[in-house]
Amino acid sequence: MIKMVASDLDGTLLQNGAQVLKPPVFELIRGLREKGILFVAASGRQYPNMRRMFSEVWKDILFVCESGALVMSHDQAIFTSPVPRALGDAIISDILEHEGCEVLLSGVDTSYFTSRCREYADFITYTMKNTVTIVDDLFSVDRDILKISAFVHNGRAAELVPAFTERWGSRISVALSGAEWIDFTTANKGTAIRVLQERFGFERDEIMAFGDNFNDREMLEAVGHPYVMENAAPDVRALCPNHCRRVEEVLETLLSRPF
């Protein structure tokens, strides 16, 4: 019996670049709760952004944020995995040496970036609707950094993943997170799912998860019922045999079963 459902957002629950969830998603989450099934929103996004997105049901769900480096419940952090300072500074320097790359630093409650590129700053602030802090110097941020992200202009992130992985992959997770994003974290979504599995005493076969990209790999591998979106890249679809067009369709089928 399924006791927990985790879903990625961008490219999974949010299709075709959408930034707002459709109302039926909230009804399905309420339906899961009525059946005693926990819903987990699992994303590379920051917590304030995700909390606003799920404002109708935020008290009823759990949040895996920053690609697994932060787990939140009722505004309380139940798991964090910061990037060591020296390692983080070295990665920031490396990203900035690559032409066409911007850096986004993720804390528990805000994103840090510089204002050197107005288009990028506007995208983070007004399109993604992140809670933001603009700084003059990324190396001066004195809060824990949970995730370092490289934003690669012109959708060329996949081209840079091999080089970043070769340099940093033995010390930190390097994951493609969409056409423009590469995430550096000391945890991943699979780490966070296992934290929740242990916290609630669930078996692997009692957990379902949905994803569409390589940063979902560990989460999909951690559960007994993984689903990949049909429109994901072929290499991602190969991660598991279960494919779906819409998360909502699978959840509707799940809720129609007798409990």
Q: What is the distance of C-alpha 40 from the center of its chain?
A: 11
Question: What's the whole-number mean pLDDT along residues 88-110?
Answer: 96
Nearest to 165 by CA among 245, 75, 91: 91
Q: Give the distance between the most distant pair of CA atoms in the chain.
A: 57
Contact present, 114 and 160 (Cβ < 8 Å): no
Confirm if 11 and 24 have CB atoms less than 8 A apart. no
Ramachandran category for residue 13: left, alpha or beta (phi over 0 → left; psi -120 to 50 → alpha): alpha
Check: CB of residue 149 under 8 Å from CB of residue 163.
Answer: no
Which residues face 147 on adjacent strands? Answer: 106
**Whether pLDDT at 259 is above 70:** no
At 103-151, the pLDDT tens digits run 999 999 999 999 878 888 898 999 888 999 999 999 999 999 999 999 9
- Mean pLDDT over residues 159-169, rounded? 97
- Least confident piece of the model among 18-27, 69-78, 116-125, 160-169: 116-125
What domains are there in the chain, each with its CATH number? 4-80+188-256 (3.40.50.1000), 85-185 (3.30.1240.10)
State mean pLDDT over 22-26.
Answer: 95
Cβ proximity of 128 and 72 under 8 Å: no
- Provide the edge-to-edge strand list for the sheet that holds 62-65: 76-80, 70-73, 62-65, 38-42, 4-7, 207-211, 225-229, 243-244
Task: Give residue 2's pLDDT.
Answer: 97
| Residue showing tokens 């045999």 | 241
pLDDT at 17: 85
Reported pTM = 0.92
20: amino acid identity, one letter: V
